[in-house]
């Protein structure tokens, strides 16, 4: 059989793992059971368990390695999480080496937003694009920058913190210390907060507000309009900086595209001369791999070796 690898996506709650062959066929996907909040030892046991199940099924011979995407900043050379906001117990823990030792297989650790960009580059909307930027809209906004075919990592693995681009100098406060980060005006909790401010209903989620917009609710549409404007400011900034061919919007919140995209494009058009001059060659689109982008990207890493 052809070569394959195992991708692991360690989310905010628990893990998913998949065996994916070198042609990008997803062979099997499974979920873990241990909440990440139980700390690195328990989580690594869960990752090892999931990887062994897949390896037992698809064989040791064809396995190129294991890639793991985690929602923190990674020191790639050390294979260590430098900072993972919500789960500090992972910081400094030798995640890569421990996994590699227990599984006796090469392991590559990567930031989850970067993994998603690598996934979209491999099998999604970014195929064949050597320069693109992925924004993943969920609880926060993750960013992955691909330049000349490689992830931009920064000198300690903290590049691509695109959710923390300032779009309103004195806007909503952010846990990072800043005010007006784009994720505080355009990610799921910001949608929910605006719904509350407009008394749209009790404890509505971003998805609830999307459903209301679908039904034509004026206030829900206003909320998505505001979200689109703020996202548009961040995108105009990125376009002015990178002049890349492609910008992809992924993550759960991107499903509301029909309701926020018009305001987003209007704002980009107004704020970026570069966009106006390159509209024919600048693609701003939805990502296509959905929640599986990170799994594809994580699995891609061992197949690439050190190429990305």
Binding site for its own copies (CB under 8 A): 82-83, 131, 143, 145, 147-148, 150, 152-162, 164-169, 176-179, 233, 236-238, 240-245, 270-274, 276-278, 281-282
Whichever of 18 and 235 has its CB closer to its own copies, that residue is: 235
User: What values do phi and psi take at 76, rounded to 5?
Assistant: -65, -35
Buried-state track 112-148, b at ≥16 Cβ within 10 A, e below 16: bbbbbbbbbbbbbbbeebeebbbbbbbbbbbbbbbee
Whichever of 46 and 161 has its CB closer to its own copies, that residue is: 161
Whichever of 89 and 178 has its CB closer to its own copies, that residue is: 178
Whichever of 34 and 282 has its CB closer to its own copies, that residue is: 282
Residue whose structure tokens are 């703020």: 230
User: CB of residue 226 vs its own copies: minimum separation in angstroms?
Assistant: 12
Would you give the DSSP letter of residue 305?
A: T
Angle at 106 between CA 105 and CA 110, to 5 degrees: 130
User: CB of residue 52 vs its own copies: minimum separation in angstroms?
Assistant: 35
Whichever of 22 and 131 has its CB closer to its own copies, that residue is: 131
151 forms beta bridges with 146
Are 100 and 80 contacting, i.e. CB atoms less than 8 angstroms apart? no
Buried-state track 172-201, b at ≥16 Cβ within 10 A, e below 16: bebeeeeebbbbbbbbbebbbebbeeeebe
User: CB of residue 59 vs its own copies: minimum separation in angstroms?
Assistant: 37
User: CB of residue 29 vs its own copies: minimum separation in angstroms?
Assistant: 32
User: CB of residue 265 vs its own copies: minimum separation in angstroms?
Assistant: 14
User: CB of residue 271 vs its own copies: minimum separation in angstroms?
Assistant: 4
Whichever of 166 and 205 has its CB closer to its own copies, that residue is: 166
Q: Which residue intervals of the chain are DSSP H helices?
A: 40-58, 95-103, 112-123, 183-186, 188-197, 206-214, 218-242, 257-271, 273-277, 293-304
User: CB of residue 217 vs its own copies: minimum separation in angstroms?
Assistant: 26
Whichever of 234 and 298 has its CB closer to its own copies, that residue is: 234
Q: Please give the Cα distance from 221 to 194 (Å, whole number).
A: 11
| Alpha carbon separation from 55 to 4, 5, 59, 277 (Å, rounded) | 10, 9, 5, 50
User: CB of residue 278 vs its own copies: minimum separation in angstroms?
Assistant: 6
Are 185 and 193 contacting, i.e. CB atoms less than 8 angstroms apart? no
How crowded is residue 304: how many other Cβ atoms within 10 Å of its Cβ? 15
Whichever of 45 and 152 has its CB closer to its own copies, that residue is: 152
């Amino acid at each position: 059989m052809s070569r394959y690898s195992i991708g692991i996506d360690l989310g905010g709650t628990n893990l998913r793992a998949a065996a994916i062959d070198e042609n990008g066929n997803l062979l099997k996907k499974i979920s873990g059971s241990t909440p990440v909040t139980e700390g690195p030892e328990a989580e690594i046991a869960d990752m090892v368990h999931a990887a062994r199940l897949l390896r037992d099924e698809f064989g040791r011979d064809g396995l190129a390695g294991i890639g793991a995407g985690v929602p923190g900043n990674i020191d790639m050379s050390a294979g260590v999480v430098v900072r993972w906001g919500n789960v500090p117990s992972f910081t400094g823990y030798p995640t890569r080496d421990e996994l590699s030792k227990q599984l006796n297989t090469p392991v590559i650790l990567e930031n989850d937003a970067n993994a998603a960009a690598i996934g979209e580059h491999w099998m999604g909307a970014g195929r064949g694009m050597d320069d693109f930027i992925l924004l993943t809209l969920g609880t926060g906004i993750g960013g992955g920058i691909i330049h000349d075919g490689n992830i931009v990592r920064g000198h300690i693995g903290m590049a691509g913190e695109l959710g923390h681009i300032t779009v309103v100098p004195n806007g909503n406060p952010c846990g990072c210390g800043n005010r007006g980060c784009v994720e505080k005006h355009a990610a799921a909790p910001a949608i929910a907060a605006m719904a509350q401010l407009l008394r749209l209903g009790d404890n509505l989620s971003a998805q609830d507000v999307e459903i209301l917009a679908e039904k034509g609710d004026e206030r829900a549409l206003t909320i998505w309009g505001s979200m689109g404007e703020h996202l548009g400011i961040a995108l105009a900034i990125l376009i002015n900086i990178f002049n890349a061919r492609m910008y992809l919007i992924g993550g759960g919140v991107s499903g509301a595209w029909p309701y926020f995209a018009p305001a987003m494009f209007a704002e980009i058009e107004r704020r970026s001369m570069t966009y106006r001059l390159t509209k024919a060659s600048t693609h701003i689109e939805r990502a296509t791999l959905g929640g599986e982008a990170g799994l594809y990207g994580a699995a891609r890493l061992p197949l690439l070796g050190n190429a990305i």
